[in-house]
A and B are shown apart, each in its own frame.
Chain A
Amino acid sequence: MTMKPGSFAIVGASESTKIGVVPEYSSIGLAIDGAGNALEDAGLKASDIDGLTVAYLPVGNVAQLLGIYPKWVDGTGVGGCTWMFHLRSAMAAINAGYCSTVLIVYGESGRSYHAAPNSYDTLAQGSIEQQFDVPYASASMQAVLFALPLVRYMQQYGLTESQIAMVPVVQREWAAKNPRAKLRSPTTVDEVLSSPMIAWPIRRSMCCLVSDAGGAMIVTSAERARDFPKRPVYVLGSGAAIEAGPCSPAGVRNPMEPEFIRTSARSAFSSAGVTHSDIDHLMIYDAFAHNPIFGLDGLGFVPVGQAGAFIADGNTRPGGSLPMNTNGGGLAYAHSGSYGMLCMLEAVRQMRGEAPAQVEGARTSLVHGWGGFWSACATLIFSNERP
């Protein structure tokens, strides 16, 4: 029953028409707008869709508004990497024969904040987080909880503030090539380390943007993908893992070498039948500057503790050996809250050869996203060639 690499392909993909500051749409409006663009991109109508995934918005409402009558749905919400989890379950559902063409939908009014629910409005009275995490986490909850392991990691591996600051510096270089990115001017380590302190050691320039955005993609079998207008993006493999609740990072068993990243990476590489050296392009969800550092370590692209130096040495910048976060990332492009869909969409653009900052000749892309304030993740490996 194992799905062979490249059995499924993304045949439609688009962001919402506008990203950044979009007060004219609520979260559901951004989702519908993104979905409409993806349908158009695939040359499909709503009636062609028989499977639907949505999170943080009621799936039935989104179906009804789009004119879709799905026979399979998934409403799982695990934070920013939710849309990667959805792609995995969509492939499994198609493989099982539950449906044939799945639309994965995302919309979040993360900045203009019209009509929640927003991703992390789930902190109900009496939840584990509300009792044991939120009282301490402060008004900068995301920055604080995401950064909790960082000081120990810095001490254990010698990671410096300057190395962390290089992450936004490099990502501005990518954003400079992207007309849709928010922060396109260059920055420096000194400038990053002079920005206001949010929660030591996290400074404002190490934090992601706050944006409105939506996006959607359509997945179907590789056999059918040939009939679509755009170049198919095949899913070679994937992985995922969870260790704790969204705001309960204390549940991560080994924050210095987190198992959930390693499990997800192992699953992705083995199911795809590729190794690290086969990866031409990389997206690692950057809600905060240290996220790509932990990602490179955990995914095994570098020995543990070496990721800060790897980035600071320029390996992920334009012209580097491992182009990463080529849209500018959550730090410089946009970040709408549960940003994972935007990571996936940049990877699709790169595989189609359509990205503003196109990596010449890229044939594979690995997309890795986080869920919660660091307790879940998923890893996808795409290719524009069918194995």
Chain B
Amino acid sequence: MKLEPTALPETQPFWDGADAGKLVIQQCHDCSSHYFPPAPICPKCSSRDTRWVEASGEATLYSYVLTNAPWPHWKTAGPMSVALVALKEGPRLISTVVGCEQTPENLRIDMPLTATWRAFGDRQRVLCFEPKHRDGA
């Protein structure tokens, strides 16, 4: 199985955004909720009037584990965080927290994160998160 994500027509806009370094997700125009993963109709209200919007990139760390067997595509020996991340807009998704030591001391539940991008195998950008740095810190 090729591990690099394979886009389908319904998810292509997400991957186009990724290639441009932008986190884009869908927002329902009827009920205003954001949702992920991508789908042609809103999972909350079933409306077809959904739009792709650029997300703030702000998130928090809902929970995580530290794997000792990251896929070689990440080019890291591990441990590597596998994170359940809660976007500010509401949806939760699975990702990893980069840019900090992968230890329980550095990965604190509910810590603020911002979206970033890293290479995964042949794909230049997949969605990751890094600790949010306060301006001026």
Contact = CB atoms under 8 A, between A and B. Distances in A.
B6 A131 contact: yes
Contact of B65 (A125, A151, A250, A251): A151
A136 interface: yes
B130 to A, nearest CB: 15
Nearest to B39: A128
B100 interface: no
B41 interface: no
A71 interface: no
Interface in A228-269: 248-251, 255
Contacts of A248: 37, 94
Interface in B62-82: 62-71, 73, 79-80, 82
Interface residues of A, number: 37
A287 interface: no
B63 A149 contact: yes
Contacts of A251: 92
Interface stretch (A3-11, A182-190, A199-207): A199-207
B66 A135 contact: no
A64 interface: no
B7 interface: yes
A138 B71 contact: yes
Given A126-B8, A131-B7, A148-B82, A136 B65 contact: no
Interface in A114-150: 123, 125-126, 128, 130-140, 143-145, 147-150
Interface of A: 123, 125-126, 128, 130-140, 143-145, 147-153, 155, 197-202, 248-251, 255
A128 B37 contact: yes
B65 A139 contact: no
Contacts, number: 113
A344 to B, nearest CB: 29
B5 A136 contact: no
A6 to B, nearest CB: 38
B6 A125 contact: yes
A131 B11 contact: yes
Contacts of A201: 65
A135 B84 contact: no
Report the 4 A-B pairs with minimum CB-CB distance, sorted nearest first.
A152-B63, A139-B69, A138-B67, A200-B66
B7 A150 contact: no
Contacts of B64: 148, 151
Interface of B: 1-8, 11, 36-37, 62-71, 73, 79-80, 82-84, 91-96, 104, 109, 120, 126
Contact of A140 (B11, B68, B126): B68
B96 A136 contact: yes
B94 A148 contact: yes
Given A151-B63, A255-B63, A130 B5 contact: yes
A137 B37 CA distance: 16
Contacts of A202: 65
A386 B6 CA distance: 53
Contact of B94 (A133, A153, A199): A133
Contacts of B96: 136
Contacts of B6: 125-126, 130-131
Contacts of B73: 135
A138 B82 contact: yes
A365 B83 CA distance: 36
A137 B82 contact: yes
24 contacts: A126-B7, A131-B8, A135-B71, A137-B67, A138-B70, A138-B71, A138-B80, A138-B82, A139-B71, A140-B67, A143-B65, A144-B67, A148-B63, A148-B64, A148-B82, A148-B84, A151-B63, A151-B65, A151-B109, A200-B66, A200-B104, A201-B65, A249-B94, A255-B84
